[in-house]
Structure 1
Amino acid sequence: MSGLVVSYSGVRGVVGRDLDASVARRFGVAFRRMVAELHPAGPITLVVGRDTRASGPELQSALMQGLSDERVRIMDLDVAPTPTIQFALGALQADGAVAVTASHNPAQWNGFKFFLAPDNTVLDGAQTERLIRELAVASDVAGAVVRDNQHERAVALHVARVLEQVDAGSIRRRRFRVALDAARGAGERPALRLLDALGCTVMRVDVERESEPVAENLAALGAAGVQNGCAVGFAQDLDGDRLALVTETGTAPGEDYTLVLVVDHLLHRPHPSVPVVVKNVSTTRAVDDVVARAGAELLETRVGEINLSRALKRQMDQGRVAFGGEGNGGVILPPVHLGRDSLVGMALVLEALAQRDEPLSIRLRELPRYHSAKLKLPLTPSRDPASLMAAVERAFPDGAADHLDGLRLRFADGAWLGVRRSNTEPVVRLVVESAGAQWVSRVANTLQNI
């Protein structure tokens, strides 16, 4: 297990090297004990599901064996997107949930994402540390599994909740043609169900690709959208929590612009109070711009879904209207749940298109636009995050530094760069953004050679 990446983003590792059935059972035992301490009187209900990775069935079966004892009832969602699993935790009144997924990581990876009621969010740092302490003393024990398949019910309830957030009638009247590339992942069937309910004709793009829906992975989606006259192309990652767009011209604007478009659209709705938009420090400043021109409030957090979830919940507890997400295509709309949700993103993008008779490419052109580069540098004995950040700060002395999450340097013309250790892979992530493409290219080259 030494190669496992463990953080409040979950547990991830390479199957066969870091992760196997024994490890899965031990994590199941550890999480069951953790939930049992919160509910000593029992019984305990846990929701479990997985994405479509080949290793998923074996790991899910072993995990459920570890989760099981005489007090535990498991609601098995089988193959289901992470947002459906998270939504079902609340909708089915369960006590905890686990998604067997490595999200956007490559195919040889898998992992576990843990959620707890009553907030129905991923674990925070303290809860993750508690889970790891339980893991240290957990035995590889296989309990008798008592499970109830709730896949159909969970998907139906999730799709219905998403539909409640939009003017479905206006979308249906437009009879959109939509291309969908789900990466053969868990989000495909729920997405097809949602799009059918919204009156869309869907062109399925059935290709095997890397999970991460970045522009370089979406050529087939772009081509299918153009060939079939689609108004928009939607791309998901394997567990269906992230959403990227492709325009009617076949262009992928970058996953950041899913959030920019959705936030801009939501800010044009009438609200009883000034909305609060929550984003993380690695998300494009185009979000800052649309928030500023709408007269709304912006709140920044560290990277990590739990940080956004907690910030959004605090705002809601104060009676504020709040929404937001991450620049990786992760849209969070609290009336559905407090996690990233590609189905929510699809519905809101379609509503934005339905309300104005203009193509997506024109709609995106009206939004603030910046050039950016996103880099990953592998961790090595000679390249640790602290020394790398110190070297970057020395290389760019004219940048104003903040350390909310790793290092971020802001420059007088609005350009910025960020450096932080990944929560999900053994890498350092770097983001560079500016209105000038040449500046981005020059800085990206400098960073790669530090």
Structure 2
Amino acid sequence: MTKQYFGTDGIRGTVGLSPITPDFMLQLGHTVGRVLRRANGAAPATVLIGKDTRISGYMLESALESGFNSAGVDVVLLGPIPTPAVAYLTRALRADLGVVISASHNPFEDNGIKFFSAMGTKLPDEWEETVEAGLSEPPQWAHSAGLGKARRLNDAVGRYIEFCKSTFPHALSLKGLKLVVDAANGAAYQCAPWVFHELGADVHTIGCEPDGFNINKGCGATAPAALVARVRELGADYGIALDGDADRLQMVDASGRLFNGDELLYLMATDRLAAGQPVTGVVGTLMTNLAIEKAFERLGIPLLRAKVGDRYVLEALEQHGWVLGGESSGHLLALDKHTTGDGIISALQVLQAVVRSGQPMAAALAGVPLYPQTMINVRLAERDSWRSDAAFAARMREAEAALQGRGRLLVRPSGTEPVLRIMVEAEDAATARQWAEALAATLQPG
């Protein structure tokens, strides 16, 4: 079944345009509520709703709340809080479903909806297909006596702070480290600084003053230049950059060097090996740098490449019984710590490696120089037009032949935008850029 609304990470789009409208959110809440009620039988159903800091969150939250209540489902409102916090609290509070209102790293004009199961995990395609089928059915409003209620969980942020701290060894401390935390003016603006502060670090912040419009604007994991500058200015040891819903991580060291998700995943794995913990395998994606794959091979650790998207990384980890995986973009998974990707917990895992080894991040990665990658996003009038473009196919064959054994080519449509992503990885930056530009130019002649 082809899904109309759900993409690779929930439902996402521009606010005010279908489906990110209050009437659709009312219908969505009602439909999901009915799906829950059918699954629960006579037992009551409860849903948690969290959101990031976008101004549209108020509107969408109230519409979803009404939809769930109209189906006879109770709602617990968490307020602005990271996506992984919703996953944790859904499981901890024994709720039936977690809902996140966020468009992650997108600008404030966008918003979206993500769902978590009662166990704090992403839901399968089959569940999404059931919801989409239900959206075409007429509503079945609950009678007055059976309507759901809503309440607010006032200590949600505090509960999540304690959970994050519990993933860091009690025998270790962050004392002596000066950190800059950039919360992207997003969902972690309240909790992220406190987690690191309460573990002993000297914490300075940027991107922790949301106004509803500045989420991800010139800050956070997708725009780390401001963090780099602040780390250098303060002489901090490390900088921590989250995205708008705090499930993505980038880090910066004192020199201003930026470390991506591939490098951070490698540090997490080698720290466990040094501590005598087995690492039977690691899951990356089609975007994982070839240098990281070769570094894992030298350690005797297989790396499996999943499709791009943290849900596919999670599926592969569960299938193989492994615990570590992630994406270059900074979505990192440590399933022995949390059920989903968590930027704060991932940062703690990396800092744990730094503290335990006494070795700076750059030194630990000295033998793993990344292959240069060039990524170009080509906006297309028709999403799949590139598939039937003979000239583009011929140019792809040329690139693959030229890169044989010395690099990689990856072409994939975005799951959230009408663009084609062209990535070329090569031993030198000039070669990667040359082929990426040549491929993009084929689709944009003149």
TM-score, with normalisation over the residues of structure 2?
0.88
- The question of whether the paired residues in 2 share the 8 Å contact of 1:100 and 1:112 is answered with yes
- The question of whether the paired residues in 2 share the 8 Å contact of 1:50 and 1:79 is answered with yes
Partner of 1:16: 16
Structure 2: stretches of 5+ with no match in the other structure = none
- Which whole-Å CA distance do the structure 1 matches of 2:238 and 2:63 have between them? 40
Partner of 2:127: 127
Sort the Cα spacing of 1:151 and 1:348 in 2 relative to 1 into closer, same or farther, 3 A: farther
- Which whole-Å CA distance do the structure 2 matches of 1:42 and 1:16 have between them? 36
- Which whole-Å CA distance do the structure 2 matches of 1:70 and 1:105 have between them? 31
Partner of 1:258: 264
**Structure 1 runs (4+) greater than 4 angstroms displaced:** 138-145, 211-216, 390-393
- The question of whether the paired residues in 2 share the 8 Å contact of 1:231 and 1:359 is answered with no
2:275 counterpart of 1:269? yes
- Which whole-Å CA distance do the structure 1 matches of 2:257 and 2:222 have between them? 11
Letter in 1 for 2:370: R
Question: How far off its partner does 1:70 sit?
Answer: 6.9
Partner of 2:320: 315
Deviation per CA, 1:185-229: give whole Å up to 9, x if none. Answer: 101222112102221111111374636978772222111111112
Match of 2:247, SS state, is: coil
Sort the Cα spacing of 1:93 and 1:209 in 2 relative to 1 into closer, same or farther, 3 A: closer
1:289-300 alignment, distance < 5 Å: 289-300=294-305
Partner of 1:403: none
Match of 1:74, SS state, is: strand
- Which whole-Å CA distance do the structure 1 matches of 2:431 and 2:422 have between them? 15
Partner of 1:284: 289
Partner of 1:406: none
Alpha carbon RMSD of aligned pairs, Å? 2.7
1:35-50 alignment, distance < 5 Å: 35-50=36-51
- Which whole-Å CA distance do the structure 1 matches of 2:293 and 2:107 have between them? 31
Deviation per CA, 1:121-161: give whole Å up to 9, x if none. Answer: 223322222221112225497996522323524x4444434
Sort the Cα spacing of 1:199 and 1:442 in 2 relative to 1 into closer, same or farther, 3 A: same
Question: How far off its partner does 1:75 sit?
Answer: 2.1
Partner of 2:162: 160
How much identity, in percent, do the aligned residues show?
28
Question: How far off its partner does 1:341 sit?
Answer: 0.7
- Which whole-Å CA distance do the structure 2 matches of 1:383 and 1:331 have between them? 30
2:247 counterpart of 1:236? no
Equivalenced residue count is 430
Letter in 2 for 1:299: L
Partner of 1:148: 151
Partner of 1:7: 7
TM-score, with normalisation over the residues of structure 1?
0.87
Match of 2:46, SS state, is: strand
Letter in 2 for 1:82: T
Structure 1: stretches of 5+ with no match in the other structure = 401-408
1:168-207 alignment, distance < 5 Å: 168-172=170-174, 174-206=175-207
Letter in 1 for 2:376: L
Sort the Cα spacing of 1:260 and 1:379 in 2 relative to 1 into closer, same or farther, 3 A: farther
- Which whole-Å CA distance do the structure 1 matches of 2:137 and 2:71 have between them? 20
- Which whole-Å CA distance do the structure 2 matches of 1:110 and 1:246 have between them? 28
- Which whole-Å CA distance do the structure 1 matches of 2:190 and 2:16 have between them? 29
- Which whole-Å CA distance do the structure 2 matches of 1:256 and 1:382 have between them? 29
Deviation per CA, 1:28-63: give whole Å up to 9, x if none. Answer: 112112222221222112111000111011101111
1:367-378 alignment, distance < 5 Å: 367-378=368-379
- The question of whether the paired residues in 2 share the 8 Å contact of 1:45 and 1:94 is answered with yes
- The question of whether the paired residues in 2 share the 8 Å contact of 1:286 and 1:370 is answered with yes
- The question of whether the paired residues in 1 share the 8 Å contact of 2:383 and 2:413 is answered with no
- The question of whether the paired residues in 2 share the 8 Å contact of 1:371 and 1:440 is answered with yes
- Which whole-Å CA distance do the structure 2 matches of 1:168 and 1:75 have between them? 32
Question: How far off its partner does 1:334 sit?
Answer: 0.9
- The question of whether the paired residues in 1 share the 8 Å contact of 2:69 and 2:148 is answered with yes
Question: How far off its partner does 1:422 sit?
Answer: 1.3
- Which whole-Å CA distance do the structure 1 matches of 2:383 and 2:176 have between them? 56
Sort the Cα spacing of 1:138 and 1:62 in 2 relative to 1 into closer, same or farther, 3 A: farther
- The question of whether the paired residues in 2 share the 8 Å contact of 1:214 and 1:254 is answered with no
1:350-389 alignment, distance < 5 Å: 350-381=351-382, 384-387=385-388
Match of 1:367, SS state, is: coil
- Which whole-Å CA distance do the structure 2 matches of 1:38 and 1:385 have between them? 42
Question: How far off its partner does 1:358 sit?
Answer: 3.8
Question: How far off its partner does 1:250 sit?
Answer: 2.1
Within the candidate set 417, 421, 429, 2:413 is matched to 421
Letter in 1 for 2:250: A
1:22-41 alignment, distance < 5 Å: 22-41=23-42
- The question of whether the paired residues in 2 share the 8 Å contact of 1:256 and 1:326 is answered with yes
